[in-house]
Structure 1
Amino acid sequence: MKTYTDQLGREVVIPFPPRRIISVVPSQTELLYDLGLDEEVVGITKFCVHPEQWFRQKQRIGGTKQLHLEEILALQPDLVIANKEENTAADIRYLMERVPVWVSDIQMMEDAVEMIIKVGEITGRHEQALQISKDISIRFSDLLKNTAHSKKLRTAYFIWRDPWMVAGGDTFIHHIMTEYCGLENVFAGNPRYPEVDAGSLLSSGCQVILLSSEPYPFKEKHIAELAELVPGARIMLVDGEMFSWYGSRLGKAAGYLQELWKLLYNCQ
C-alpha cells in the first residue's frame, strides 16, 4: 500500500500497483490505455468511447453524472479514478467511504500534465506518463509560438442547446481557447457553463462562434439557427474532445488547434 495525494489535496491509500481500476472519466480512461494498462481496468463509463475496443469490451458502470454505484462496488475496485467537475460530489463521496478514490481537478494545462504524471505513478507506469507529458508540453509550446501574438478574436464556445449554454471563464475549455488558440472568450466573466440568450449574444460582440461536438452534438443545421441570432459572426463546428479532454488526447489536440487557428486567422 502507498499513500498518494490527489488534486483535491486528499491523501489516498492505494495498493501498488492497483490491479482492479475503474475510471469514471472518459479522458482519463483513454490515458490508462495509453499508459499500457488493459486487464487492470475493470470498469468504465458509457461515455468512455476511446479506445474503441475498451468501449465494446469493458463493463460500463453508468454515465459520468449517473454512476451505477452498486455495480462499481461489486467489481471490487482497488482504485477509482474520478474528476471534481465531471462526476457528482454525492457519488464520489459515497465511493470514497468504501474504496480508494483518486480525484483530479483540472483548470489549466499544468493541472493536466500533473494529473498524467501522478496517474502514471499510481499505476506503475511512471516512465510512460513522463513521455506522454513531455510530448504534450512540447507540442503545446510549439503551438503557442504561433498563436501567442494573434489579435484575439472575440469568441463564444457553445456546449449545449435548449437552453443555449457556453463555456465560462473558470473552465479548461476557456484556458485552451485563450492561452493556445488566440481567442478571447466573450463570456469569460461568467462561471462554469452559463445559459445565454439572443440578447446577451448580440451584446457580446462575438466575432466567432464555436459549436462543440460534445456534450451536445451540434450539427450543420445549428449553424443556420445561430446565424439568425448573431448575423455577421463566423460559426464553426469543432471537435469538443480537442478542447476538453485533458488526458493523453492532448497530444493530438495541439495539431488540431493549430489547424483551427490557421482557418480562423486565414494563415497558410
Structure 2
Amino acid sequence: MLTITDDLGSQHIFNQTPKRIISLVPSLTETLYELGLEDQIIGITKFCVHPYHLKSVKINIGGTKKVHIEKIKALNPDIIIANKEENTLEIVESLKDICPVFVTDIVTVEDTLKTITDLGKIFKRTTDAKKWVEKIKFANDDFERFMEAKQWQKAAYLIWREPYMAAGNDTFINEMLKLNRFNNIYEDFEERYPEVEIRKMRIQGDPDLVLLSSEPYPFKEEHAFEIGRVTHHAKTVFVDGEMFSWYGTRLFKAFQYFKALQKRIEE
C-alpha cells in the first residue's frame, strides 16, 4: 500500500500499483513514457504530442481545458494525472468520482524533480525516476557553470498576440528565464500571464531581448517586425516554447537547447 500527497494537499492511498493511466498534461505524458509506462497509458489529450506515435495508439480524451468525461469513464482508469495550471479545478473536481486525480503544481526545477520522484513512487518506477532526476540535476549544474560568465539581460517573453500576452511571475517559464539570466520585465506584474501593450514595452522595462515563443501562439517574422518597430534596440528572438514551458523529463533536453540559444543570441 502507498500513501502519497499531491501538490494540492490531497492524500491518495493506493492498495495496488495503478495500471490504467490517463494523462491530462502533455509534458507529463512524455515523462510517463520516459519512465517506461507506455503500455499503462490509456488516454491522453490532443496536445500530448511527444512521443508523436502516442497520438495514433492512445485514446484522445479532449484538451487540457475541456475533457470528455464520458469517454474517460468508459476507459475505467486507475489514476488521472493533472496539473494545477494546465487543467481547471472544475475538471479535477468532475473527475474525482471516477478515480484518484493526482494534481501536480510545477513552477521550479525542484518541483519538476519532486514530480518525477512522486510518479516513480506511484507506479513503482523508482529506479527510472532516480535516473532522470540525476540526469536533470547534472544538466542543471552543467548549465549553471556555462552561464557563470554571462551577463544578465532584460527580456520579455511573449506567448500570445491579439491581445499580446507575456509570461509573468510564479510561472515555470519565468524560472527558465532566470536560469538563462534573463530579467523578466513583467516579473512584477500582478497577473501570471499579463496582457501587455508592446508600444509601452520601452517604458515598462525597455528589454534587451523580446522572446517570441513557438507556442501557444505561433509567432512569425511579420510579428517580429511589428514588435521591432516599437521596441527599437531590442533584439527579437524566436524560441522553442516547449523548452521553456514543458517540465518533466523534457527539462533534460532544455538545458542543451538553452546553451545553443545563448550562443545564437551572442551572434
Confirm or deny: 8 A CA contact 1:16 1:123 kept in the other structure.
no
Q: Is residue 141 of structure 1 aligned with residue 141 of structure 2? A: yes
Hey, what does 2:73 align to over in structure 1? 73
What is the aligned residue count? 265
| Distance in 2 (alpha carbons) for counterparts of 1:218 and 1:14 | 44
| Distance in 1 (alpha carbons) for counterparts of 2:26 and 2:76 | 20
Instruction: Output the amino acid matched with 2:239.
Output: V
Hey, what does 2:124 align to over in structure 1? 124
Question: Where do 5+ consecutive residues of structure 1 fail to align?
Answer: none
Change (3 A) 1:69 1:263: same
| Distance in 1 (alpha carbons) for counterparts of 2:238 and 2:199 | 22
Q: Which is worse superposed, 185-194 or 21-30? A: 185-194
Where do residues 239-250 of structure 1 align in structure 2 (5 Å cutoff)? 239-250=240-251
> Secondary structure at the residue paired with 1:102?
strand
1:3 CA displacement: 2.0
Hey, what does 1:226 align to over in structure 2? 227
Alignment deviations for residues 8-66 of structure 1 (CA, whole Å, 9 cap, x no partner): 22101235321110000000000011011122110000000001110222111000011
| Distance in 2 (alpha carbons) for counterparts of 1:249 and 1:209 | 23
1:182 CA displacement: 1.4
| Distance in 2 (alpha carbons) for counterparts of 1:188 and 1:227 | 21
> Secondary structure at the residue paired with 2:36?
coil
> Secondary structure at the residue paired with 1:16?
coil
Q: Which is worse superposed, 162-171 or 146-155? A: 146-155
Hey, what does 1:62 align to over in structure 2? 62
> Secondary structure at the residue paired with 1:43?
strand
> Secondary structure at the residue paired with 1:39?
helix
Hey, what does 2:164 align to over in structure 1? 164
Instruction: Output the amino acid matched with 2:70.
Output: E
Q: Is residue 183 of structure 1 aligned with residue 179 of structure 2? A: no
Q: Which consecutive aligned stretches of 4+ in structure 1 deviate over 6 angstroms post-superposition?
A: none
% identity of equivalent residues? 44
1:151 CA displacement: 2.0
1:159 CA displacement: 0.6
1:105 CA displacement: 0.4
Hey, what does 1:10 align to over in structure 2? 10
Confirm or deny: 8 A CA contact 1:15 1:78 kept in the other structure.
no
| Distance in 2 (alpha carbons) for counterparts of 1:90 and 1:33 | 27
Confirm or deny: 8 A CA contact 2:165 2:195 kept in the other structure.
yes
Instruction: Output the amino acid matched with 2:102.
Output: W
1:265 CA displacement: 3.6
1:219 CA displacement: 2.1
Hey, what does 2:262 align to over in structure 1? 261
Confirm or deny: 8 A CA contact 2:108 2:172 kept in the other structure.
yes
Hey, what does 1:208 align to over in structure 2? 209
Confirm or deny: 8 A CA contact 1:182 1:261 kept in the other structure.
no
**Coordinate RMSD, CA, aligned:** 1.3
Normalization by structure 1: what TM-score?
0.95
| Distance in 2 (alpha carbons) for counterparts of 1:177 and 1:83 | 21
> Secondary structure at the residue paired with 1:50?
coil
Instruction: Output the amino acid matched with 2:86.
Output: E
Q: Is residue 110 of structure 1 aligned with residue 110 of structure 2? A: yes
Alignment deviations for residues 48-96 of structure 1 (CA, whole Å, 9 cap, x no partner): 0001110222111000011112211111111000000000110111112
> Secondary structure at the residue paired with 2:195?
coil
Instruction: Output the amino acid matched with 1:12.
Output: H
> Secondary structure at the residue paired with 1:143?
helix
| Distance in 1 (alpha carbons) for counterparts of 2:56 and 2:222 | 30
| Distance in 1 (alpha carbons) for counterparts of 2:15 and 2:60 | 23
> Secondary structure at the residue paired with 1:64?
coil
Confirm or deny: 8 A CA contact 2:199 2:231 kept in the other structure.
no
Hey, what does 1:252 align to over in structure 2? 253
Question: Where do 5+ consecutive residues of structure 2 fail to align?
Answer: none
